[in-house]
Every structure is written in structure tokens, then in C-alpha cells.
Amino acid sequence: MCGIFFSLSTAGPVLPTEETSNLLRQRGPDSFRVHNVHQDIQIYDSKGDGQILKTIPAHLTFISTVLSLRGDHVHAQPLVDKESQSVLCWNGEAWKVAGEPVQDNDTELIFQLFLQAAKPSSASEDAVQRLADLISSISGPFSFVFYDAFSSKLFFSRDCLGRRSLLHGTDENGSLKLCSLCNGTSSTVFEEVDTNGVHMIDLTVPGTATAHNIQTLPWSNDKELPANHLKNPIPPMSKSVPNSNPSLTIESDVVGGLEQKLCQSLELRIKNVPDQGQGQDATKVAVLFSGGLDCTLLARLSHEILPSNETIDLLNVAFENPRVAAAAARSKETSTESVYESCPDRVTGRSAFAELQRVCPDRKWRLVAVDVPYTETISHRDRIKRLMRPHNTEMDLSIACALYFASRGQGTAYEGEEAFPYTTPSRVLLSGLGADELFAGYGRHGVAFNRNGYQGLIDEVHLDVSRLGKRNLGRDDRILCTWGREARYPFLDEEFVSWVLQTPIWEKCGFGMADSEIPESEKGLDAEKKALRLVALKLGMEKVSREKKRAIQFGSRTAKMEKGRTKGTDALS
């Protein structure tokens, strides 16, 4: 995980604000480096009715901070090629390139591959197409800024699923800025870099001092790839419907295949995580843990992959919500249970924790109960709003609060009968995000099926998958990584997503199944995400397989803390 800042200015070098620099350092505490490039560019200077072409100096400023999680030492960025003076700021995890796993540091490898693609060649395709082909072959989350000094072109992008944050904006002087965070207090200047392709500025093409000609090399699913396009790693979704009553049981081939594919995705993300000098039995992996199906399944499968001496931390967050507390007081409830222990996600978290201990008794599981008093929520709220910009709604804030405190990983740890103050040392956080979109896990998926059958369900799931890259992963990245930790999403691995999308809809969820076709031991499982529920059941997680879907802001009680009549879409004041 890294922090990126870049500026292109004709008015002198432009640096981030001190506040932004500090936030970037929190994302990447292991290294901070600045690199400047000066290049003459041609601009049109309008005078009267005519335009005069003149040459002026442009200033390219590159800044990277680094959270080192790959290789045996810190690879400080930006990376600069001595020969060409090309520059790379890379914030990502290239798990595979052209289908081959990346064993050591991915940043060094990606930079060398970028340089090979950019270098002038006698090959028929030009450097831009070679770069497009290379980026198409990278599997994993990323955002980057790459200056190709061979041809004086600037490239910047996020992966097609938008798993890493990168914002862009132009200030009052016309300077272009790219940053992992909003640079400053205003959110009106910055917006998310679109995930529709790789964006390019050709600095040899004349422009104006305040406008930059940004071209986009789009993702494409065409079999015959058009020039200067990228091959989309995510294929079109299967839209076939069953010819007869479908059957999905624990014995179905798709259940075994799903477990295997999810393990493969998970293995890339949790094996060989550095121990940061804390010893071989250090806690290297933590799970953002509500006790629900998706996150508990990741925890259970992690047990199959990690060495038995490694503890797995389960980060479970619960909030003091004054409205809930007041309602309880008005009803004169006499329960001595704390406001935290009564939170829905704490209840399911403890239940799933107990089930993991029972099913995997040789693993040391550590439940970290993150209790957040209302006063602490208020004291951190401005910082959370700052981090989540340009997002600015009540729902954004509710979700961001839960992610912010959960990823801090500070609370009371429970191991068996022991309880003690604790902050997780893990720099890797696992998230179950993506499962609901891929496996029809939302209540509206059932509504769509009831209205229009399989075709309605397919349309609704297709809509969710098609807008994954435009949803809120950039916001989540800005929130989760502020504690110097990296969120990893096994359900959003390109190969896993591709496999799921090409699997027929009736093999992913249980809508339309006749009750007589369901084995007795599997009755009562919800139709939403049924394939995942069957994997959990197969792995001994009986209670977890039957857990209902619940939004994080309601499970942790961050929603509607002050006013009950607010809507999630309401803008913050």
C-alpha cells in the first residue's frame, strides 16, 4: 500500500499541503520521497483573435509513500530510471502478470515491464499499445502514475474494479493534481479517477496553460481488440436461464469448485506476508469481522492456508449510538448488557468466533472487540470526513466510521477466557466485500426475482457487477489505509470474479429451487448467496451458513446517531 501525489504545473513545482503529506505518510509509513522533472512544453497563448504557439517550462512533481508488504526490504518510491529518467509511482499489488504469480516485490517488476514496453522498438505495435497490453495482463488492485520519458507521455489509472484510490483535480492556477487523497479541505476540486481505462497526456502535443488534453485508452471485451484499447480482465456475465427446476446442494460440483477458487484467491493474498521483525508466530493477517457469512468464510479458509502457529485476529467493531441508548432507557429495559455487546454485529461476531474455535480448535483465534464511545466518534468525525472526500453523504459517513475504527484494530482481545487491551500488529486486513454483488446477496435481488424471475435477477446482478468499479472502493481505501494497513479483497480477484460471472446464476444462489429438491440438512438456508452458504456448511460452519445479510452501518450502529429521519443519500452539512 502506498500514497501517491503528482502535479503538472507551468507555474513552478506544486507540492501537497502539509496535512495531505501527513495523511500520505500515515498510508505509507516506511518511506517518503519526492522527485521533480522539468520539461519544456508547447502551449497556445491566445491574443486577440489569433493564437501564438510558445514554449514554456513545465514542472512534474512525483511523491510516493510506501507501506512495505512485498519482498525482503523497503523499495522506496518514486522509482526513477537512470537511463531514460522515466518515473513510476505505484500503489498496488500485482498478484500475477500474464497469468504468472509475482514472487518478490511487484513494484520493481512492474517498473521494468513498463520501461520495456515504453522503450522505442522496431516492433509493429507502438509503445502505447504495448503499455496497454501490459496493463491488461496485470491481475491485482492498483493505481499508478507513470511518466514515459522516452515519448514524453504521462499515464495514470486505477484498476477496472477501482480497488485503490486515486483522485484528480485542477487548482485555481490550472495545475493538474493526482493524489490518493483530496489535497486540501475542499472536495469540490477533486473527483475519482474514472475506472473506464488508462488515461494519457501527451506532453508533446500543444495545449494551454490551464487545460490538459487527457486521452483515455478504454477497457474492451471485444475479441478483436481495437487499437489503443485494453483487454478487460472481467468477461461478460453469463445470462443463461435454466430449462428446468435447478438444483444446488452441498454435493454440487460448483460448491467444490467455489471453495477451490476462493482458496486460490485467498492464498495469493495471505501467504508470505512479512512478519515485520516480530517473529514467525506473529499475527500477520486480520479479518474485518462482523460474524457474517462472507468474512467468517474468509477466516475459516485462511485457517486451511496459514501455518498453524499464526494467530488470526478478528476485528469486530461496535458503537455507542445515543439514539439506541435513549430508546432503551425510555422502554425501561433492565438488561445489564452493555451498549456494545447488544450491537447486532457483536452478537454475530461472538457467535461466529465460538464456532471457529469449535471447528478449528488447533488455531489460535483472537477476537478484538473494538468498542467506540459516542464521544470518540465525535472527536474523530472531522478526520473521517476529510479522508472520505469527495464522498459526502450520511451513508458515506456511517460506513466510513465503521471501517475507520475497525481498521485501527484497537480494543479488547479475547483468547479463550483471557481478555486484555490490544492493538493488532497486522498490516493485512481481509474484507468480504464483493460477495453480495457476485452471489445475489442483497434483499433487492430477491425482489427482482419475484418480479421478473431469472431474467430480472440476472439484470439486477449484472447491474451490480457492472458498476463495481464506480462504487465506493476508493472511499474505503482512503479510510482503511490511514492506519498503515492494507485491505485485501479475495472476492474481487480477477480470476475469481471471471469464474463466478461465467457460472450460471442458478448455481450461485437458491432462487427458484423447489423445497422438495433440498436435502433435509440444507433446509432453511437463504436463497441469497446460497453457494457460499453451502461452502460454509461443508466446512462445519452451521450457524454462520444461516446468518442474514446486514449492512455494516446497522450492524455496528453507526447509522442515524443523532437524527432518526435522515436519509443515507442526504448530503452532509
According to DSSP H, which parts of 98-207 are helical? Answer: 106-118, 127-136
Q: Which of 2, 179, 360, 481 is catalytic?
A: 2
Question: CB 225: neighbour CB atoms within 10 A?
Answer: 16
Q: What contacts 36, CB < 8 A, 6 or more positions away?
A: 13, 59, 60, 61, 62
Cα–chain center distance at 555: 20
What angle, rounded to 10 degrees, do the helices at 530-538 and 293-305 form?
A: 40
- Cα distances from 295 to residues 52, 219, 317, in angstroms, run 60, 30, 13
Count the alpha carbons within 13 Å of 347 in the hemisphere toward its beta carbon.
Answer: 12
Burial of 391 (0-12, 13-18, 19+ CB in 10 A): buried
Q: What contacts 360, CB < 8 A, 6 or more positions away?
A: 300, 303
Question: CB 97: neighbour CB atoms within 10 A?
Answer: 17
In angstroms, the CA 458 to CA 437 distance is 11
Q: What contacts 313, CB < 8 A, 6 or more positions away?
A: 283, 285, 286, 287, 366, 368, 409, 413, 424, 426
Report the residue count for the chain.
573
Let me know: does 291 contact 352? Beta carbons within 8 Å: yes
Let me know: does 357 contact 367? Beta carbons within 8 Å: no
Is 2 catalytic? The answer is yes
Instruction: Render the burial of 452-484: b for 16+ CB within 10 Å, e for the rest.
Output: eebebbbebbbebbeebbebbbbbbbbbbbbbb
Q: Read off the C-alpha cell for 531.
A: 453457494
Beta-strand runs (E) in 301-374: 312-319, 365-372
- Residues tagged active-site: 2
